[in-house]
Structure formats: C-alpha cells, structure tokens
Amino acid sequence: MQNNTRTHTVCRIRVGTSGYSYPEWITAGFYPPGTPARKMLAAYARRFPVTELNYTWYQMPKEPAMERLAERAPAGFTFTAKLTRSLTHEIDPGSWRRQAELYRHGISPLLQAKRLLAVLIQLPPSFGRTAANRRYLASLLDALEALPLAVEFRHRCWAVDRVFRELEKRHITLVTVDTPPLEYLFPTLDVVTNPDLFYVRFHGRNLTGWKSGNIQQQFDYLYSDQQLRDWVRGPLTRMAAGSRRGVVFFNNHVRGQAPRNAAMLAELLEAG
C-alpha cells in the first residue's frame, strides 16, 4: 500500500477505516508482527490520511487523551469521532445534556488543532422517526452545534426530503451508507446536505452476518474491485461534485478487509 495523502488532496476525498487499533490486523498482515497498540496509529498513518475513532462511542473522550492523539498524529492527518453511545443508544432523559457537554469538552483538543473533520452521530435501527425522537435529535443537534456534525441513520423511515432539508439548513452532513439489502435499513443515497463535507461508510454486504447480530460475522465482507469501481463512477463522483471534500471509511474490519478495500478505493480514485 502507498501513502494516499496526495491522492485525496487531488480528488478532495480522503479514504480510511473505521478504527485502526485491531490486533487481528497484525495476523492479516496490515501491521508488522509484534506491533503494540500504542504504535498502531503511526503505522496506520503511513498508509492513510484519516481515521474514524470508534472508541469514543464506548467511552467519553477526555481532553488529555485527545491532546496526546493530536500531538502523535503526523502533519495533515485528520480524524472523525463517533458520538458516545450514552447520547445515541443508551439515552438517559435526565443526564443527556450533561453528557453532551462532557463530549464537547472532551473532543475539543482535536477541534482546536484543526484535526477534527466531523463528529459521527450514529443512530440505531430502533431509533425511529417518532415525534419524541425528532424532538430529541433536534435538541441534540442544538447542544452540539459548535462541532462539525454528521448523522448516520440506520432506519429507512428517516429517508425523507424533510429530514434532508433540515440537515441542509443546519449545515450538517447526511452520512451515506453501503449495507446489505435489508428492508428496514437506511438506503444507499448520494444526497449531499453539507457543501463542506460528504461522508460515506462501507459496512459490507454480508446479509447473513448482519441478520445474525454477531459483529464478527456482520462486518466480515470484502468488496470486489468492480463494486468499488461502481462507487467511483457513480455516487462518489456525484457527491464530489456537490461538496468541497469528502471522507470514506470502511467498517468491514474483520480479517483486515477494511484497509485492503480502503487501499483499493484510493488507487481507483487516483487513477480517475
């Protein structure tokens, strides 16, 4: 694999993976044998110019940790970060505003260092477009408005023009997804709601694995060269025409398939 920073400057698209600290990527050959977790970011950054922070979904980001992350990352390297699950999946009506405040403060070093491209608000399939959920999401977006935001819906009921117009009005990015063809999932769209950034997540198309609920099976998928070519010629070209820059992340992390596909896509983009 080669360094792709130049590629994505030309194409206005940065390609990376959802997370980078996977021990199994050593076995898969992405990281050299014996690579400790503390050295994985440096090794990863030699291949890709951006990554999506997954661990901020599991735990609240802390300012000292984000400061160290910004200092360790090489010049030009950028991040997106998931919003913590206490604000998307395990919502406590009595404490979510405090949780939002903690997240804003915790992630602020990346924002101040101009390393943060977006905060990913990943909503579960169970988060339907009810009146209560619409009110909560609007309030959450208000509470986080100081941050660059991107919203990933998992249920197709949110795929309506009214939602897209509201995101556009707020200058918030609608996340485009590539997923298995399940009826309830949010469809693959090339709708651009933020002229500054479009955001794509490749989850894989393992239909059986997705139905199993097992994460290792769910994200066990390798995209073919033709599938990625179709994306380059279609949705990515159209979205790039409507936005100043874009980020693309592969979430099919099992067996090191995400970095393999990310490198494939970067090469296709470079070839034009």
Q: Average pLDDT, whole number, for the chain?
A: 94
Q: What CATH number does residue 171 fall under?
A: 3.20.20.410
pLDDT, tens digit (0-9, with 9 covering 90-100), for 124-149: 999 999 999 999 999 999 999 999 99
Domain that holds residue 58: 5-271
Residue 8: which pLDDT band, with cuts at 50, 70 and 90? very low
Q: Are 108 and 66 in contact (CB under 8 A)?
A: yes
pLDDT, tens digit (0-9, with 9 covering 90-100), for 159-174: 999 999 999 999 999 9
CB < 8 Å & 24+ apart, contacts of 225-234: 225/264, 225/268, 228/261, 228/264, 228/265, 228/268, 229/268, 231/178, 231/265, 232/265, 232/268, 232/269, 234/190
State if pTM tops 0.85: yes
Domain total of the chain: 1
Which residues does 93 contact at the CB level (< 8 Å), separation at least 6? none
Q: What is the dihedral of CA 74, 121, 153, 242, to 10 degrees?
A: -50
pLDDT, tens digit (0-9, with 9 covering 90-100), for 171-209: 999 999 999 999 999 999 999 999 999 999 999 999 998
Residue 10 has pLDDT above 60, yes or no: no
| Locus of tokens 């194409």 | 11
Check residue 264 and give its pLDDT. 98
